[in-house]
Structure 1
Amino acid sequence: EVDGIRIDFPISRQDIVEMTGTTLHTVSRILSSWESKGLVQGGRQKLLVCDLPGLAQLADGDTSQV
């Protein structure tokens, strides 16, 4: 089992689409990219944040280390 911060309520990619006002394709592409970089781990209606500092870097616009 991977350590991280578990989002403690069921959330689907469609839920994220509705919250962010983007498309399912975009959400799927971004989450897949984040998963491949080890930032998050997804599953059926669940999300585990594995690298909070890495996500914070992305939020700040710093992609040099991620």
Structure 2
Amino acid sequence: MSTQEVERRVAHVVLRLVEQAGAWEESGVRVDFPISRRDIAEMTATTLHTVSRILSAWEVQGLVEGGRQRLVVCDVAGLKRLAENTGK
């Protein structure tokens, strides 16, 4: 249950970053400044390990693409569904 809440917080933060600093490119919307997983962990009051696990799972699902201080949201609608999900 708490993992779902953390995932929602991370989704909200990533969507806010896309909204404030998103740049469209072929694969999706890139956060247009260097952002690390540690930065996202600090913004969501969670651990680096948790953010890494969530973002890795999202990469497998095709929601995001990551790299060294790089984040591209490939499926904005899918991420919004995760952010709005109030429970399963």
TM bracket (short chain):
0.7 to 0.9
Partner of 1:25: 49
Taking the aligned partners of 1:63 and 1:8, their CA distance within structure 2 comes to: 31
Taking the aligned partners of 1:46 and 1:8, their CA distance within structure 2 comes to: 8
TM-score by length of 2: 0.67
Q: Give how far 1:3 is off.
A: 1.7
Alignment deviations for residues 38-57 of structure 1 (CA, whole Å, 9 cap, x no partner): 00000000100000000011
Partner of 2:27: 3
Q: Give how far 1:16 is off.
A: 0.6
Give the letter for the 1:4 counterpart. Answer: G
Q: Which runs of 5+ in 1 are unaligned?
A: none
Taking the aligned partners of 2:78 and 2:87, their CA distance within structure 1 comes to: 9
Select the structure that is richer in helix: 2
Q: Which runs of 5+ in 2 are unaligned?
A: 1-24
Matches within 5 A, 1:1-66: 3-61=27-85
Identity of aligned residues (%): 66
Runs of 4+ in 1 over 2 A off after TM superposition: none
RMSD, aligned α-carbons: 2.0
The count of aligned residue pairs is: 64
